[in-house]
Amino acid sequence: MEISGLISAIVIGAVVGALGRLALPGRQDIGWLWTIGVGIAAALVGTAVATALGVADTKGVDWIEWALQIGLAAAGVTALERLRSRS
Protein backbone atom coordinates (compact mmCIF):
# COMPACT_ATOMS: atom_id res chain seq x y z
CA MET A 1 0.00 0.00 0.00
CA GLU A 2 1.33 3.39 -0.96
CA ILE A 3 1.34 6.40 1.34
CA SER A 4 -1.57 7.97 -0.57
CA GLY A 5 -3.60 4.79 -0.02
CA LEU A 6 -2.79 4.87 3.69
CA ILE A 7 -3.78 8.53 4.00
CA SER A 8 -7.03 7.96 2.13
CA ALA A 9 -7.79 4.93 4.35
CA ILE A 10 -7.35 7.11 7.44
CA VAL A 11 -9.53 9.90 6.04
CA ILE A 12 -12.26 7.54 4.83
CA GLY A 13 -12.01 5.62 8.12
CA ALA A 14 -12.50 8.83 10.09
CA VAL A 15 -15.57 9.72 8.04
CA VAL A 16 -17.02 6.21 8.25
CA GLY A 17 -16.32 6.04 12.01
CA ALA A 18 -17.97 9.40 12.61
CA LEU A 19 -21.02 8.44 10.54
CA GLY A 20 -21.25 5.10 12.33
CA ARG A 21 -21.07 6.88 15.66
CA LEU A 22 -23.72 9.40 14.61
CA ALA A 23 -26.02 6.56 13.55
CA LEU A 24 -26.20 5.37 17.16
CA PRO A 25 -28.59 6.98 19.64
CA GLY A 26 -27.23 8.63 22.76
CA ARG A 27 -23.69 9.34 23.83
CA GLN A 28 -20.88 6.89 23.19
CA ASP A 29 -18.20 6.73 25.85
CA ILE A 30 -15.20 6.19 23.56
CA GLY A 31 -12.68 8.65 22.21
CA TRP A 32 -12.24 9.90 18.69
CA LEU A 33 -9.05 7.91 18.14
CA TRP A 34 -10.98 4.70 18.88
CA THR A 35 -13.75 5.91 16.58
CA ILE A 36 -11.25 6.50 13.77
CA GLY A 37 -9.66 3.09 14.38
CA VAL A 38 -13.05 1.37 14.25
CA GLY A 39 -13.89 3.39 11.13
CA ILE A 40 -10.70 2.33 9.36
CA ALA A 41 -11.35 -1.32 10.19
CA ALA A 42 -14.99 -1.00 9.10
CA ALA A 43 -13.97 0.67 5.83
CA LEU A 44 -11.53 -2.11 5.02
CA VAL A 45 -13.90 -4.94 5.98
CA GLY A 46 -16.85 -3.23 4.29
CA THR A 47 -14.88 -2.88 1.07
CA ALA A 48 -13.88 -6.56 1.21
CA VAL A 49 -17.51 -7.62 1.76
CA ALA A 50 -18.74 -5.34 -1.03
CA THR A 51 -16.09 -6.77 -3.36
CA ALA A 52 -17.13 -10.32 -2.45
CA LEU A 53 -20.76 -9.42 -3.17
CA GLY A 54 -19.81 -7.76 -6.46
CA VAL A 55 -21.13 -4.31 -5.54
CA ALA A 56 -17.84 -2.49 -4.89
CA ASP A 57 -17.43 -1.04 -8.38
CA THR A 58 -20.60 0.52 -9.71
CA LYS A 59 -21.27 3.58 -11.82
CA GLY A 60 -21.57 6.62 -9.60
CA VAL A 61 -21.56 6.46 -5.82
CA ASP A 62 -21.24 3.02 -4.26
CA TRP A 63 -24.17 3.38 -1.85
CA ILE A 64 -24.25 -0.30 -0.86
CA GLU A 65 -20.55 -0.23 0.01
CA TRP A 66 -21.03 2.94 2.09
CA ALA A 67 -24.01 1.40 3.89
CA LEU A 68 -21.97 -1.71 4.70
CA GLN A 69 -19.07 0.37 5.99
CA ILE A 70 -21.25 2.64 8.14
CA GLY A 71 -23.21 -0.32 9.51
CA LEU A 72 -20.00 -2.13 10.41
CA ALA A 73 -18.65 1.04 12.04
CA ALA A 74 -21.83 1.42 14.12
CA ALA A 75 -21.57 -2.23 15.19
CA GLY A 76 -17.88 -1.77 15.99
CA VAL A 77 -18.46 1.37 18.05
CA THR A 78 -21.24 -0.39 19.98
CA ALA A 79 -19.08 -3.46 20.61
CA LEU A 80 -16.11 -1.37 21.73
CA GLU A 81 -18.28 0.77 24.00
CA ARG A 82 -19.78 -2.32 25.68
CA LEU A 83 -16.35 -3.92 26.03
CA ARG A 84 -14.90 -0.78 27.62
CA SER A 85 -17.88 -0.29 29.96
CA ARG A 86 -17.37 -3.74 31.47
CA SER A 87 -13.86 -2.91 32.65
Q: Which of 83, 71, 86 is nearest to 24 (CA)?
A: 71
- In the chain, what are the domain boundaries? 3-86
Q: Which of 74, 73, 57 is nearest to 65 (CA)?
A: 57
Q: Yes or no: say if 26 and 85 are a contact pair by the CB < 8 Å rule.
A: no
Mutual angle of helices 3-22 and 63-86, in 10-degree steps: 70
What's the CA angle centered on 43, arms 21 and 41, to 5 degrees? 80
**Tens digits of residue pLDDT in 16-66:** 888 888 888 888 788 888 888 888 898 888 888 988 998 877 787 788 888
Confidence of residue 2 (pLDDT cuts 50, 70, 90): low
